[in-house]
């Protein structure tokens, strides 16, 4: 596909600054990225014009977040929203203890399955041996996912 880069160059942003804006876009939390696209939705002409609109939106977002440029209520609201999105995006998810346990004991569980134990028998084994109650269907699901990840390197 050939795109007319002249349209993009008419945005007034140099190639280096377009790279800066692209890296800035990459650091934004997901909600802020969606908002950037929302800011340039009015321009539905061509891919080049849409990209130019995205660059202009990112530029406006970057200026509002750094408090340079025009300072008004809309800019302040946007900057506050981006900060909130960053904080919410940075929250750490607590890992599931039972999932971690299954992954940690993967080889032990694999050996039991190879010896012919059913999922319900493995549920009982884990409770009696390790004093952890894990339902057989959850055990099967996480074990199957872990097996797939180990076979195909997904994860």
Token pair belonging to 92:
């750490």
Q: Which two tokens stand for residue 150?
A: 């180990």
- Better-scored residue on pLDDT, 17 or 130: 130
- Asked if 146 contacts 110 with a C-beta cutoff of 8 angstroms, the reply is no
Q: What is the pLDDT of residue 1?
A: 42
Higher pLDDT, 43 or 89: 89
Q: How confident is the model at residue 154 (pLDDT cuts 50, 70, 90)?
A: low
pTM beyond cutoff 0.85:
no
Q: What is the pLDDT of residue 155?
A: 47
43 pLDDT more than 70: no
Once rounded to an integer, what is the mean pLDDT over residues 33-59? Answer: 72
**% of the chain beyond a pLDDT of 90:** 27
Higher pLDDT, 133 or 17: 133
Give residue limits of the domains in the chain.
5-90, 97-152
The mean pLDDT of the chain is 81
Q: Please report, for residues 11, 30, 62, 83, 107, the alpha-carbon distance to residue 88 in angstroms, rounded to integers and kept in the order given.
A: 32, 10, 19, 9, 36
Which two three-digit tokens encode residue 53? Answer: 């609109």
Task: State how far the Cα of 146 lies from the Cα of 99, in Å rounded to an integer.
Answer: 10
- Torsion angle defined by CA atoms of residues 106, 108, 114 and 120, in that order, rounded to the nearest 10 degrees: -80
pLDDT digits (tens, 9 = 90+) for 52-103: 777 888 888 888 877 765 667 877 888 888 888 778 766 666 678 998 899 8
Judge whether residue 7 has pLDDT over 80: yes
pLDDT of residue 32: 81
Give the pLDDT confidence score for residue 133 in this predicted structure.
95
């Amino acid at each position: 596909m050939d795109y007319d880069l002249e349209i993009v160059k008419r945005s007034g942003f140099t190639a280096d600054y377009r790279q800066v804006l692209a890296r800035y876009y990459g650091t934004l939390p997901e909600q802020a990225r969606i908002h950037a696209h929302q800011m340039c939705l009015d321009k539905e002409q061509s891919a080049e014009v849409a990209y130019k609109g995205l660059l202009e939106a990112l530029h406006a977002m970057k200026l509002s977040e750094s408090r340079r440029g025009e300072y008004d209520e809309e800019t302040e609201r946007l900057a506050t929203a981006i900060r909130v999105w960053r904080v919410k995006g940075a929250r750490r998810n607590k890992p599931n203890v039972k999932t971690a346990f299954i992954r940690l004991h993967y080889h032990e569980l694999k050996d039991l399955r190879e010896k012919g134990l059913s999922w319900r028998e493995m549920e009982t084994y884990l409770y009696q041996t390790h004093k952890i109650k894990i339902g057989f269907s959850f055990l099967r699901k996480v074990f199957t996912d872990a097996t797939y990840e180990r076979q195909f390197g997904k994860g």
